[in-house]
Chain A
């Protein structure tokens, strides 16, 4: 039977992209704190999952390469290789390569020769990372930087627990079986080695078959805390000698344990080395150290004290650190369980339906009031309040925090810094600010442009910064916050700022300004969003080609947002993007033209004025009017839409502002503000100019939403409008 894997493949791609995202985050964290075991683990897990699922789906290219990466990560995780800048760099590049491979797999494209040779090169570099340092002695000098385990003395490199048990002789008589403990233990983690000890076993004649002479040395890897592991031996504790050493215990702790046990010192030492709890090097060094110290009674006393410490578990830092780590991984696990993936379409249709519910609820309320039935009115109002709450909740489901998008730029900044030799830091704030998922998807590209611009143009070279008296490290800041029903995203840098003179010169050269004009800062700076406008003296691979800012502006305006720039010559540039919270609902202003209703997005409406008789008479000759001394081009919607029927006796002009320009729309009636759920008109009407969508009004009719920017293009060239009909 052929199984359809295309869906599974799609899931694989989505999942891989998330995992690669996680890998990137982990790598960035590792750069900051190279020894962090938890981060290394998460890196390993991500790579491992990608390898696993690509294997299941038979995506060989991904599996093969990820396997090579995993090999290195495995060594790093086992502390056989110390992670350093070079390895991190290789891993970054490998991560990118996996992404390329996944993309290829999702599009079904084959691997090009270039990709293959790139892969070969990376595999070679991975190999050299593994081979070149495999047996380097520095693994024993591994030192945890976390601080939590900063006990005196050397820490063992192992990340496994070591458990040493000498069972109570009465174990069998109490009806217990040592094997069951081991079985239970196996459920808590991964058993690395078990070494049974029979040293206590007497010669056959003296042996009591009911007596338990068994001892065990177990090396064991687990995420659980000491308490849990200890509880495994709860029933055997009485009369048994049990030592449990957490991962990365001090080497002395192992020594002390060995000494406190009846068996031969060297035998136990060997077992520890074999099980991986200690390395030969660690053991030798510890032995030397002990020999160097004063022998005799004093030493014995110290030892005893240590043993007590050991048995009494007085390593609170170690325990705490382990607990903390466990809590973290538990938290992330439970978080995973609490979220679920939903097809965006299902959510959209839910929101759609709820929108309808709001409208029909309002409708019912109207009827109830007309019937003057108190009870009915009451019920209707309660219901519509509930429905509105449901709507808000449904809308909130679409909202996601912007932090994830922001943190992607860590990598961008890092790479730009590395390529250009600048020292740049990305500071993120307001990452918890939520906005609509579709908006987030569409804001990514514009943000990328802006962040690159800031890092590439804005931030100066370290020397230049130093000469200006600034800190050599430049800062790019990403910030997001809610402001009156919209969300504001700021991209700022503390670089050289925009140069007034250069922009002015360029604007004159492009014919946007005449040299005689003296525009204000904000007017001037706004020009950088014009097509073809770049003042960078040098075109780099990142920016400076003069495309970008106008694309940024266009993209943001397509989201019904606005962009603004602020700068002074010293303290850098701030680009501020203002976006609506959601794309699905807007505040609208409803107008009527010849019996049809139209909605204009409210945030574009500036004012409404009467379309006077005199202006109406003049309308045959010109398509602009005098609005308090200002020239206002206008469109008569009735003409533009070719509306049939009797002309209205009175007409009004709605003045709208969009992209810094004003224009008037002549309409018959003004109905006022409405909350509008935007409905797409569908592909049949895809190319209709001047209409952005539709909405359903309280009485169940369809009203059309005007595409003000498109209409205003028409108003600018007034001739097009007057040629109608």
Chain B
């Protein structure tokens, strides 16, 4: 059984959070940067790690590990910022996401992708677009628009108010 929304073979960028391999549709990835200094915006939730200077634009960066219930991302030589373009309420938004390490770009056919499991992951299943199979490895394909949907950001604001 394959995922209905995926009908063509698509390229994915894979990366690691902890020991798990995740993937993003390559069309949503703009570039990958080395970890640079983050400026924390006060009174925002912890997973909103701050903002960076991307050639003159101020881009927010989120910590996906915190978002997915793991520990905070520590900076290593492999730590990267994946700059992704997401759609929020019909508007394009540039966002950075922290990853422990970026792996490679792979191509997956629709029949290699299965719907995400209802149980068995630490993630909110809404965030999962599907599970890619490659060799004997599972790759969690993320639904990036869902992760940063307005409700999720609204939750961020609610959290901020608690801080206040």
Report which A residues bind B (CB closer than 8 A).
Answer: 352-353, 355-356, 359, 596-597, 640-643, 679-685, 687-691, 694, 696, 700-704, 724
Contact = CB atoms under 8 A, between A and B. Distances in A.
Nearest to B89: A683
Contacts of A683: 88, 91, 93
Nearest to B44: A688
Nearest to A697: B53
B51 A694 contact: yes
Contacts, number: 76
Given A643-B42, A702-B50, 19 more contacts: A359-B56, A596-B39, A596-B40, A641-B42, A641-B43, A642-B42, A679-B58, A684-B93, A688-B41, A688-B43, A689-B43, A690-B43, A694-B58, A696-B56, A700-B53, A701-B37, A701-B53, A702-B51, A702-B52
Nearest to A640: B42
Contacts of B95: 684
Nearest to B40: A596
Contacts of B55: 356
A-B pairs, top 10 by smallest CB distance, nearest first, are A641-B42, A356-B56, A702-B39, A694-B58, A679-B58, A684-B60, A696-B53, A702-B51, A687-B157, A702-B53
B39 A724 contact: no
A696 B58 contact: yes
Nearest to B38: A702
Contacts of B50: 702
Contacts of A688: 41-44, 160
Interface residues of B, number: 28
Given A702-B51, A702-B52, A685 B42 contact: no
A703 B37 CA distance: 11
Contacts of B156: 684
Contact of B39 (A642, A689, A703): A703
Interface string B148-163: 0000010011001001
A459 B52 CA distance: 55
Contacts of A701: 37, 39, 53
A704 B163 contact: no
A642 B160 CA distance: 11
A690 B164 CA distance: 11
B76 interface: no
B82 interface: no
A643 B41 CA distance: 10
Contacts of B43: 641-642, 688-690
A656 to B, nearest CB: 18
Contacts of A703: 39
Contacts of B163: 642
Contacts of A682: 58-60, 93
B51 A355 contact: no
Contacts of A681: 41, 51, 58, 60
Nearest to A597: B39
Interface in B55-73: 55-60
B61 to A, nearest CB: 10
B164 A355 contact: no
Contacts of A694: 39, 51, 58
B140 interface: no
A685 B91 contact: no
Contacts of A641: 42-43
Contact of B164 (A596, A700, A704, A724): A724
Contacts of A643: 42
A597 B163 CA distance: 21
A691 B39 CA distance: 13
